[in-house]
Amino acid sequence: MSEQPSAAAPAARFQVVLPDESPEMPPRVLTELALRAEGLGADTLWLPDHLLPPEPYGRTFGGVYEPLVTLAHLAARTERVGLGTSVLVAPMRDPFTLAKQAATLHALSGGRFVLGVGVGWSREEFAAVGADFAGRGARTDEVLRLLRHLFEGEGAFRGRFHSYERGVFEPRPASPLPVTVGGTSEPALARAAALADAWQAVGLDAAGFARRRDRLRELAGRPVRAQARIAWSGADADLGPAVDLYRALEQAGADAVAVWFGEWEGFGERMERFAAAVRRSA
């Protein structure tokens, strides 16, 4: 049974999922929105990831601009806000290249990068890039172990899918590079419990979040931050319920709530309206 949250639950950190669903969006919009979000006090900015989706980009397939390259650009334009992937499809990437990119981005951003990973869900996209869809869960687990070894370990790494005997990895992260695992399935929770610093849920109400968070705690036996991701695309009638959901997730124990504000046109105005409504509801 889920424990009852305290009325004095700590405030969830406000995070923003940047729009990256339209090839028509000018690249400068991402920089402008990143700066606006940082000015609003956002804790972290997130970008999605797709390499070769089978359908046109949009609500289903975000990730027009490659997230690691884009976040490196945003790191040079921002000063404080965290920068992360929500989520990068780890089993479609070469893990050694990913480790190099993540560690470099962490260094260039002054330790602000958060690597958010998931296993992916589009069988067609995996086939298009020649990746193993059936084994994506096991591959993701090994990628996370390999990255941790490269960042913090010594000597050879011997895995089922990836191994090396000799080699020097740099830049080693000067501060811990946080890893977030996204997903609400039992394997995703087990992955977060065993291999991550944080877990991000998508598409859950407060009760569902609390149940999955409690399961995460059972599996982990150690502190793992529990975070949520929601959407509000601007309908006035839906603003109150969206703010209520944000607050309900906060009361259910979410350490952070990331919000996507719909398509890029009008995104900044909706973000500011939502942030103001959340402040008023405090």
Instruction: Average the pLDDT over 1-14 and give the result.
Output: 62
**Residue count of the chain:** 282
Residue pair 223/216 in contact (Cβ under 8 Å)? The answer is no
Looking at residue 9, its pLDDT comes to 62
For residue 235, the model assigns a pLDDT of 80
Task: Return the HEC string of the chain.
Answer: CCCCCCCCCCCCEEEEECCCCCCCCCCHHHHHHHHHHHHCCCCEEEECCCCCCCCCCCCCCCCCCCHHHHHHHHHHHCCCCEEEECCEEHHHCCHHHHHHHHHHHHHHCCCCEEEEEECCCCHHHHHHCCCCCCCHHHHHHHHHHHHHHHHHCCCCEECCCCEECCCCCCCCCCCCCCEEEECCCHHHHHHHHHHCCEEEEECCCHHHHHHHHHHHHHHHCCCCEEEEEEECCCCHHHHHHHHHHHHHHHHCCCCEEEEECCCCCCHHHHHHHHHHHHHHHC
33-42 mean pLDDT = 98
Work out the number of other CB atoms within 10 angstroms of the CB of residue 166. 6
- Give the mean pLDDT of 228-249: 94
Residue type, 245: L
Q: 81-134, pLDDT tens digit by residue?
A: 999 999 999 999 999 999 999 999 999 999 999 999 999 999 999 999 999 999
Q: Which two tokens stand for residue 115?
A: 């690597």
| Proportion of the chain above pLDDT 90, given as a percent | 94
Return the axis-axis angle of helices 136-152 and 95-108, rounded to nearest 10°: 50
Report the half-sphere exposure of 97 (CA within 13 A, side-chain side). Answer: 7
How far is residue 153's CA from residue 35's CA, in Å, rounded to a whole number?
Answer: 36
What is the rounded radius of gyration, in angstroms, for the C-alpha atoms of the chain? 18
CB atoms within 10 A of CB 235: 11
Q: Quote the tokens at residue 109.
A: 């951003």
% of the chain residues with pLDDT over 70: 97
Binned at pLDDT 50, 70 and 90, residue 282 comes out as confident
Q: Is 76 exposed, middle or buried (0-12, 13-18, 19+ CB in 10 A)?
A: exposed
Residue 25 corresponds to which amino acid?
M
* pLDDT average, residue stretch 125-151: 98
